[in-house]
Amino acid sequence: MASLIGRYCRRSLFYSNSLISRSCMMNRHHPSSYKFSSTVSNNLRLGDKAPNFTAETTYGKIEFHEFIGDSWCIFFSHPADYTPVCTTELGMVEKLQAEFSKRNTKCIGLSCDDLNDHQGWIKDIIETQNINDKDGKGLSYPMIADKERIVAALYGMLDDTNINNDGLPLTVRSVFIIGPDKTIKLMLTYPASTGRNFDEILRCIDS
């Protein structure tokens, strides 16, 4: 068992270091803006303090712990914009916003796409998922644009078996439920092919 754990830890560290090296090679002129954490999700456990970060979102720049405030938080990732399963999931999260609000819960999503992709995709979500957008603001929760994979690496959301055309890993369907005390209460990981049941996530919050 000890050798198995050691082998896994070495693999995780190698993977994170590989991301750092690859990112710096791709961005020689701006290396400081492309850094990946060596923290992987398997090093995060229930009861751990959720790593804080600053990121650009569809609602502007946020500081994560400040965003959570005194609320609960559903922090979830999806593999890519403009994909059918992801479109359905984000539409469902929007339709459940009244239920999340009753539970003092904020939602925030993430993918490795940029803000322009997010903004264009949100229009598709509104149209295809029959979402009422009278005020024209789009989704009522923010989406993180993590093209450099900084936050995804910090939370161990990257899938080294699912690589994009640039040779970089995409995110799996991760879910973190984080309490008002900023500690992790629940972690779920789904493969890219499997959509999440957000009614079940509501049940987890209630529990």
pLDDT band at 189 (very low <50, low <70, confident <90, very high): confident
Global pTM value:
0.76
Cβ neighbours of residue 176 closer than 8 Å, sequence gap 6 or more: 50, 73, 74, 75, 76, 155, 184, 186, 187
Does the pLDDT at position 127 exceed 50?
yes
Q: Which run of H or of E encompasses 108?
A: strand 105-111
Average pLDDT over residues 74-98: 86
Task: Check residue 90 and give its pLDDT.
Answer: 85
Task: Check residue 167 and give its pLDDT.
Answer: 74
Cβ neighbours of residue 202 closer than 8 Å, sequence gap 6 or more: 96, 99, 100, 103
Check if 114 is active-site.
no
- Annotated catalytic residue, options 48, 160, 181, 199: 181
Check if 107 is active-site.
no
Cβ atoms of 178 and 75 closer than 8 Å: yes
More confident site: 138 or 73: 73
- Annotated catalytic residue, options 86, 112, 146, 159: 86
Half-sphere exposure of 120 (CA within 13 A, CB side): 9
Q: Helices 84-95 and 115-128 meet at what angle, rounded to 10? A: 70
